[in-house]
Structure 1
Amino acid sequence: MHTSPPRRPLALRHWANRLRSLARRLLPARALDYAQRVAQEQAIFEGQEQVHDLPPIFHYWSNTWLRPQLEALGFSDPDAFFFEQLKKALQEHPDGVRFASLGAGNCDTEVRIARRLVDQGLDRFTLECVDINPTMLERGRALARESGVEAQVLPVQGDFNAWRPDRRYDAIMANQSLHHVLALENLFTAVDTALAPHGRFIVSDMIGRNGHMRWPEAMDIIHEYWRELPPGYRWNVQLRRHEELLDYWDCSKEGFEGIRAQDILPLLIARFDFELFFAYGNLIDPFIDRSFGPHFDADSATDRALIDRIHRRDVEEIAAGRIKPTHLIASMRKRPYTGERVHLPGITPETSVRPVDGRAHA
């Protein structure tokens, strides 16, 4: 863990110009295309009661390698991160606070966090759960009632691509939702405007290549390990196809999955100051995700050894700057923020941005 004195973020004029150009092309999106994507997105998630479920090999990797790094930062997993951040806001303002969660889906994370807060005697808060999908919000409303936090967890239907809050919030959270946002510039402006002066924007999300694809320098290394996999492990469970070598697949072709993932971090840097920043993972992703992860046996010494080797290579390549992380956990503040900044040595917001016009470099 590293703490650094307050400083202004590096100038990212090149990124800013590219993103403004992209925004002019994308925003507003053609009404028909946007409506079709919304319909696809709703259809994809409407029947999913467990949105964040992952295969056992993911949990082996997470508990073995990721959790110790998170615990050094004061939390054990993303749920605990959000809990600690909201708890801090409540302790700082015990008379009552207002939170919002963007893209809350079934509100399951939010309900768990609210229950933990209430169990600790911290019940003077509301947590508005914003999502475009009414079916998922109804599940969230029922879950909040069952968990006894219906007074705190308030499902609100809304499109975060056009979010226009009419009140101030002490914290706004986004849990694996920003990579579904097309109008990131608009959303981050709305968040900045809606945050109270002391407020926090707390995020756990994907920041890799758009559509969750791999950049070439990462794919080259992934293919080294892919060649070691038994043929049966190369069957893509989600796309139902054999991949002799892992192929590029743009997930944003359907709905909004990863539609502007690579723009998230540069735009956050341009808008907010980071109080806590932790970025991680890249090469390991396809081996532990929903597409190929189910083939791995978390109880197999052989499978675990491969995952361990890939993880170590991941850490080595990211530390050297040859590849960039694809996952982000961060707490951000409105500018100017003059407090302590926490990040791993050498892994800062600026060093974690992958240039779009060339390979990653240190």
Structure 2
Amino acid sequence: MSNFVRQIDRVETDWTKFFDYQQLVEEEITEYSSTEVTDRLLLGGIHANPAWDYWFQFLERQWQTNFSKEVVDFANQQAAPRILSLGCGHGGFELSIASQLNVPYELIAVDLNPYIFGEAKRRIEEKKLNIEFKAIDLNFVALEPDSFDVIFAHASLHHMLNLEHLMEQIYHGLKSNGRFVILDMIGEVQTLFWCENVEFARNLVEQFPAKIKKKLSANPIAPYQPPSLQVGMEGIRQEELEFEIDRFFDPIKCFKYNSFMRLIGTNPVLGNIFDLEDVNDREYLETLCRLDLDQVSNGSLRPTEMFAVYQKKLIPASVCATKARIKFLQTLVLQQSPKSEAFDLVTKANSDELIQNELTAIKSKIAKLSDLLAFHQEEIKALRRKNESLQEYISWMQGSKFWRLRQIWQLVKSIFTGKNPIDKPN
């Protein structure tokens, strides 16, 4: 199975070079190597809160389907499906899906982190499941063309930098009648929730019924914080995810949700505050669930998550754009030349040379943008170093009994002028 998915060293449009990518990778691996998981090898901790679990039960009732069901139902209609999971994490969904298949299958599951497959591998041996786990960086993945009946990704693609490359690979790797099933974040970069979503949720908590609100000493939802310097790859380009998918795929079904319910369901306090055995608590939680979807459907709040099933476009948007440009050139030629001559010119225009020229122009623009981003990235690194230096001196200053205001000013001035810092007093 390994030959169908591999890792390559270079991609045409590589956004990783504008970051300290190795540091981001290390932060990502460290975080998810220590993440709490449930017995089903799904994310635990706040993701196992009763209110969060109830929210997804509510969504399943509304949609009459769920993520695993879409993968399993389509795969079971194929003679011998080959399935690919992108960003499998600890492997919980893969084990669940494989155990529900009633046809011969191959399932390849890939993830950046090589240290989290252990328990899943033990279980596939025990249950005789045909799953192969591979450690691959999806920013540099290459898929064998027309190889997979189903490709799915559960809450993983919002970690990707090279979305353009990844979507192109998914498109080429999926069979013509295949399905791409995704559940992922589409909210604000890094923070997930926009300011208006956070403020709505905070105001909603203030209006909770007295019976529930009395359990709170303060509003547990923190005020909105704008995006800051990136740590790890969480939500790094999630606002662009739907746009990039739509360039290559058409939706068969698509559900958008979580205008605010994640802020309640995954909150350490609010996610556990409702007594689901109590009819009134359960009815109020149900009201909140309906309100979330209403806010999305009437356009009052933007959704931050999406669950969708896609099929391949007959022609990807990138090709459509080039063809549209050719059609425009045809119109210009017909206006300027006799018909017979015009079509000769159009024939020449409608060639690989024109497409190559278009690509060259685009690459030139990307190169200029790349240089600009690289310059600003160096500035950011320099500011980080200055910030670290300032933090170090502030920490030291706070421990000194004889620090004077004049020396604080000299220190700050030296950091931002680039001159040698003042000597620390004895």
Please report the TM-score for the alignment, with normalisation by the length of structure 1. 0.72
Matched, 1:188 2:167: yes
Q: Is the Cα contact below 8 Å between 1:208 and 1:326 reproduced in 2?
A: yes
Matched, 1:99 2:117: no
Structure 2 residue runs without a partner (length 5+): 1-11, 316-426
2:303 is matched with: 325
2:423 is matched with: none
1:248 is matched with: 225
Separation in 2, partners of 1:195, 1:234: 52
Q: Which residue identity is paired with 1:134?
A: P
Higher mean alpha-carbon deviation, 78-87 vs 273-282, is at 78-87
Say which SS state the counterpart of residue 256 (structure 1) adopts: coil
Matched, 1:43 2:30: yes
Query: Out of 68, 82, 94, which is 1:79 matched to?
Result: 68
Map Cα deviations across residues 214-272 of structure 1 (whole Å, 9 max, x no partner): 2233233212113246486578xxxxxx8574433759833111222211111111221
1:265 is matched with: 242
Q: Is the Cα contact below 8 Å between 2:186 and 2:305 reproduced in 1?
A: yes
1:158 Cα shift? 0.4
1:142 is matched with: 122
Say which SS state the counterpart of residue 274 (structure 2) adopts: coil
Q: Which residue identity is paired with 2:238?
A: A
Separation in 2, partners of 1:322, 1:125: 44
Which has the higher relative contact order, 1 or 2, with Cα contacts under 8 A spaced 6 or more apart?
1
Q: Which residue identity is paired with 1:164?
A: A
Q: Is the Cα contact below 8 Å between 2:195 and 2:224 reproduced in 1?
A: no
Q: Which residue identity is paired with 1:80?
A: K
Separation in 1, partners of 2:231, 2:168: 26
Separation in 2, partners of 1:234, 1:109: 37
1:52 is matched with: 43
1:102 Cα shift? 0.4
Query: Out of 278, 292, 314, which is 1:314 matched to?
Result: 292
Which has more radius of gyration? 2
Map Cα deviations across residues 4-59 of structure 1 (whole Å, 9 max, x no partner): xxxxxxxxxxxxxxxxxxx98x813346x211111111111113343433201122
Query: Out of 78, 89, 98, which is 1:114 matched to?
Result: 98
Correspondence 1:225-304 to 2 at 5 A: 225-228=204-207, 230=213, 233=216, 243=220, 245-248=222-225, 250=227, 253-299=230-276, 300-301=278-279, 303-304=281-282
Separation in 2, partners of 1:232, 1:303: 13
Separation in 1, partners of 2:54, 2:221: 25
Query: Out of 194, 201, 226, which is 2:180 matched to?
Result: 201
Provide closer, same or farther for how the CA distance between residues 204 and 303 of structure 1 changes in structure 2, counting only shifts above 3 A.
same
Q: Is the Cα contact below 8 Å between 2:193 and 2:304 reproduced in 1?
A: no
Provide closer, same or farther for how the CA distance between residues 322 and 29 of structure 1 changes in structure 2, counting only shifts above 3 A.
farther
Map Cα deviations across residues 286-315 of structure 1 (whole Å, 9 max, x no partner): 100154444323334564354333323322
Separation in 2, partners of 1:321, 1:175: 25
2:331 is matched with: none
Higher mean alpha-carbon deviation, 252-261 vs 327-336, is at 252-261
Matched, 1:157 2:135: yes
Q: Which residue identity is paired with 1:52?
A: L
Q: Is the Cα contact below 8 Å between 1:284 and 1:307 reproduced in 2?
A: no
Provide closer, same or farther for how the CA distance between residues 222 and 294 of structure 1 changes in structure 2, counting only shifts above 3 A.
closer
1:60 Cα shift? 2.4
Higher mean alpha-carbon deviation, 185-194 vs 245-254, is at 245-254
Q: Which residue identity is paired with 2:17?
A: A
Say which SS state the counterpart of residue 190 (structure 2) adopts: helix
Provide closer, same or farther for how the CA distance between residues 180 and 244 of structure 1 changes in structure 2, counting only shifts above 3 A.
closer
1:185 Cα shift? 1.1
Q: Which residue identity is paired with 2:182?
A: V
1:353 is matched with: none
Query: Out of 202, 208, 214, which is 2:193 matched to?
Result: 214
Say which SS state the counterpart of residue 155 (structure 1) adopts: strand
Q: Is the Cα contact below 8 Å between 1:252 and 1:258 reproduced in 2?
A: no
Higher helix share: 2
Please report the TM-score for the alignment, with normalisation by the length of structure 2. 0.62
Provide closer, same or farther for how the CA distance between residues 116 and 283 of structure 1 changes in structure 2, counting only shifts above 3 A.
same
Q: Is the Cα contact below 8 Å between 1:58 and 1:289 reproduced in 2?
A: yes
Map Cα deviations across residues 177-213 of structure 1 (whole Å, 9 max, x no partner): 1111121111101111111112211111121222243
Higher mean alpha-carbon deviation, 293-302 vs 244-253, is at 244-253
Aligned length in residues: 291
2:322 is matched with: none
- CA-atom RMSD in angstroms: 2.7
Q: Is the Cα contact below 8 Å between 2:109 and 2:132 reproduced in 1?
A: yes
Q: Which residue identity is paired with 1:326?
A: T
Identity of aligned residues (%): 23
